[in-house]
Structure 1
Amino acid sequence: MTLPIVTAVDQAHAAPLRALIDGKAKPLGALGRLEDLAIQLGLIADGPPPTFERALLLVFAGDHGMTADGVSSYPASVTQAMVATFLAEKASANALAKAVRAELRVVDAGVDADLPAHPKLLDEKVRRGSRNAAVEPALTPEEVAEALERGVRIAREAAAEGFELLALGEMGIGNTASAALIMHRLAPAPLVECVGRGAGQDDEGLARKLAVLERAAARSAATDPLAVLAEFGGLEIAMMAGAVIGAASARIPVLVDGFIVSAAALAAIRIDPAVKDYCVFCHRSAERGHQRMLQSLEVEPFLDLGLRLGEGTGALLALPIMRAASRLLSDVASLDDVLNGRL
């Protein structure tokens, strides 16, 4: 497997960007964390950032073998049904994408079904769902490598197509279980702090889910990020990790959604720490474990709306903040120009 080289941003340029923002027609620091985001975007662009009018949400879909053991309150067939809903432009993510002027495409990373062709569907299926991680490795090392490489290619092709940023979302019944195991090993954190209710488990369902994940964790002591992805899956998570690496190698920002996308970003950062410079963590999910995961990455998200849907919805809601931050550098007059009548 060959992954592209990611160049860390040049932090030597942060001070000039800060000075530029401090010289704008506003009190020092008056725009708070928006100023920090503007600096991050300037560092990524290595100059004035684009306005991010061309934004793409990629929703990666895959199924999980652990659903056979009841880690989700929904059957695996819902993954395929929701893919059809995205393609019919009737999902929550579609509505939000229209509201913020982003294009949405679905990536079949490993749905356990043969999906009909569609203009907005990328057929990147590695296999029909992962294996049951509670009893065997979810993926082979070769399948992980293929998923990562496909994610890299998808992201780089999007950049070549002219998209100025990528927002990542996911759909996969059972994927909070895989994400919890990835967090457990790569944060790292105690498993009980990583396991949440997912798509609405009741107390009995949550206890059953934790028991299944304890069996999976006991089966393997893996801590290397590639080995963790192989042991615990899933294909959409591994492919999103590749997309994070691919976008970073193309020097475009990645809008990281909630718990599951953050687990993919965590894996990508553990594979190559330089990719963190290109990640914008958009919101704090209501899913248990997400706050601890964000703390382990030493990042603070921009929104906290109690979201726990996934699909990239939190990333989409952060897109206007990205656009606003980029214009802070380009569209706001300097205080000197204001005071000297040079507007």
Structure 2
Amino acid sequence: MLIPQISPIADAALSARLKAAIDNKTKPLGSLGRLETLALQIGLIQQTVDVTVERPAMVIYAADHGVTDERISLYPPCVTRQMVENFLAGGAASSVLARQNGFEVHIVDGGVDHDFGARPGLIDCKVRRGSRNFVNEPAMTRAECELAMQRAMTVVDGLAGNVVAFGEKGIGNTTPSAALMHLMTGIPLAECVGAGTGLNRDGIAHKQRVIERALARHGTPQDPMDIMATYGGIEIAMMAAGMIQAARRRMVVLIDGFIATSALLVALKLRPALIDYCVFSHCSDEHGHTQMLRHLGVEPLLHLNLRLGEATGCALAMPYVHAAVNFLRQMATFEAAAVSEALA
């Protein structure tokens, strides 16, 4: 499979112009804090001082997981299908927050164990009806994983804007995400496994044992694509590929919580420059996400004790993207406003 190349955003000349434009606004130096660094990042991504937000998109990839056979979730697998219906009806949390913050929402069936038929608002990219139980066999074949990624990139190629948020729906998907986190970072498995949809201590311990059984069977493949195919999920593979393709198109990539960041960990092994394009929307309350962010050396915009996924954190972070763009575009300079600058 051909993975698109990504150009780093570093540009010394443009960075100097952006910093000068930011510093010349009617404010003390650095007084807009994170908004200033966000504006600089967006300018470098878009390769201009004249930054914009155009038709932000939210892409939610949905798929089922065979590992739910091990009873690692409080909810039955049919909830994936039911939540896709909820997304299409506009009733999910991410639907509400997306409307509030101006996202165009795209729901993608990557591997739900259900035939929806042709539906308005639903993009059919189904690879198979759910991944396999990775305790017993790889979740996907390498060919299935590559097909999922190719279809995900096609979805991103169809987007018209320059900001994209990635979300997911798949009952059981914190289990493969915890496995991916462990394998991609080397962080002990016990620090990667959390409550997911609300497991108690015994449920978390059971989830950890399930992953340990899979690790004992499959070991650690050397290729990140093989790790994704063995332990991941269809929607997780799709998010990873979507992020890479969005960065190739020089889009601002909003990263959600635990599951989305597990996809990013794999994507970064394939294309490290992707990190330049990522805006980390929030720190999830799912156990392990803080460790993921620390491993990446990044700071999220928000910490609201969320653990829902579905790109809800991205939707809530979008006003800060608008704010960073708007102050750079609209805020007066000292000269234009006839305001005295700081004394030398």
Asked whether the two chains share a fold, i.e. TM above 0.5, the reply is: yes
**Alpha-carbon distance in structure 2 between the residues aligned to 1:312 and 1:177:** 18
- Cα RMSD of the aligned pairs, angstroms, is 1.3
1:102-121 alignment, distance < 5 Å: 102-121=103-122
Question: What does the per-residue CA deviation read over 1:13-50, in whole Å, with 9 as the maximum and x for residues that have no partner?
Answer: 22321222111110011010110000000000000354
SS at match of 1:109: strand
- Matched-pair contact (CA < 8 Å) for 2:25–2:334: yes
Matched, 1:293 2:281: no
TM-score (norm 1): 0.95
Runs of 4+ in 1 over 4 A off after TM superposition: none
Aligned mates of 2:281, 2:157 — CA distance in 1: 21
Instruction: Determine the structure 1 residue equivalent to 2:161.
Output: 163
For each residue in 1:289-343, what CA deviation from the matched residue of structure 2 results, as whole angstroms up to 9, or x when unmatched? 00100111111100000000111100000011101101122111112332369xx
Q: Distance in 2 between matches of 1:266 and 1:312?
A: 17
Distance (Å, rounded) in 2 between the aligned partners of 1:5 and 1:53: 24
Corresponding position of 1:6: 6
* Paired residue total: 338
Residue 49 to residue 210, structure 1, CA distance change in 2 (3 Å): farther
Correspondence for 1:61: 62
Cα distance in structure 1, aligned partners of 2:290 and 2:11: 27
Identity %: 46
Q: Match for residue 226 of structure 1?
A: 225
Cα deviation for residue 221 of structure 1 reads: 1.7
1:124 is matched with which residue?
125
Match of 2:44 in 1: 43
Partner of 1:275: 274
TM-score (norm 2): 0.95
Give the match for residue 198 of structure 2. Answer: 200
Instruction: Provide the rounded CA distance (Å) in 1 between the counterparts of 2:253 and 2:337.
Output: 35
User: In structure 1, the residue corresponding to 2:115 is in which secondary structure?
Assistant: coil
Distance in 1, matches of 2:245 and 2:337, equals: 42
Matched to 1:256, the amino acid is I
Equivalent positions of 1:219-258 (< 5 A) are: 219=217, 220-258=219-257
Conservation of the 8 A alpha-carbon contact between 1:283 and 1:314:
yes
Report the more deviating stretch, 163-172 or 15-24: 15-24
Local SS of the residue matching 1:17: helix
| Cα offsets for 1:119-139 (capped at 9, x unmatched) | 210100111111111111111
Partner Cα distance (1:77, 1:192) in 2: 28
Q: Is the 8 A contact 2:162 2:250 kept in 1?
A: no
Instruction: Map residues 315-326 of structure 1 onto 2, 5 A cutoff.
Output: 315-326=314-325
Distance across 2 between alignment mates of 1:248 and 1:49: 19
Measure how far apart 1:77 and its partner are.
Answer: 0.7
Shift of 1:53: 4.5
Task: In structure 2, give the amino acid aligned to 1:11.
Answer: D
Q: Which stretches in structure 1 are left out of the alignment for 5+ residues?
A: none
Aligned partner letter, 1:189: I
Residues 340 and 309 of structure 1: CA distance in aligned 2, closer, same or farther (over 3 Å): closer
Which among 178, 181, 184 is matched to residue 183 of structure 1?
A: 181
Question: Aligned partners of 2:19 and 2:327: how far apart in 1?
Answer: 12
- Other structure's SS at 2:196 match: coil
Task: Name structure 2 gaps, 5 residues minimum.
Answer: none
Partner of 1:329: 328
Which stretch of the first structure deviates more once superposed, 251-260 or 331-340? Answer: 331-340
Q: Which residue of 1 aligns with 2:259?
A: 260
Residue in structure 2 matched with residue 91 of structure 1 by the alignment: 92
Which digits, 9 at most, give the CA deviation of each residue in 1:58-109, with x for residues without a partner?
1110111110001111111110010011011111111111111212121111
Task: Give the equivalent residue in structure 2 for 1:212.
Answer: 210
**8 Å Cα contact 2:125-2:151 kept in structure 1:** yes
1:151 corresponds to = 152
Deviation (angstroms), 1:140: 0.8
Query: Is the Cα–Cα contact under 8 Å of residues 17 and 49 in structure 2 kept in the other structure?
Result: no
Q: Is the 8 A contact 1:186 1:223 kept in 2?
A: no
In 1, distance between residues paired with 2:209 and 2:50? 47
Secondary structure at 1:108 match in 2: strand
Match of 1:18 in 2: 19
> Which deviates more, 97-106 or 312-321?
97-106
Q: What is the CA–CA distance in structure 2 between the aligned matches of 1:53 and 1:42, rounded to whole Å? A: 14
**1:38–1:316 CA distance, 2 compared to 1 (3 A):** same
Contact 1:284 1:305 in 2 (8 A): yes
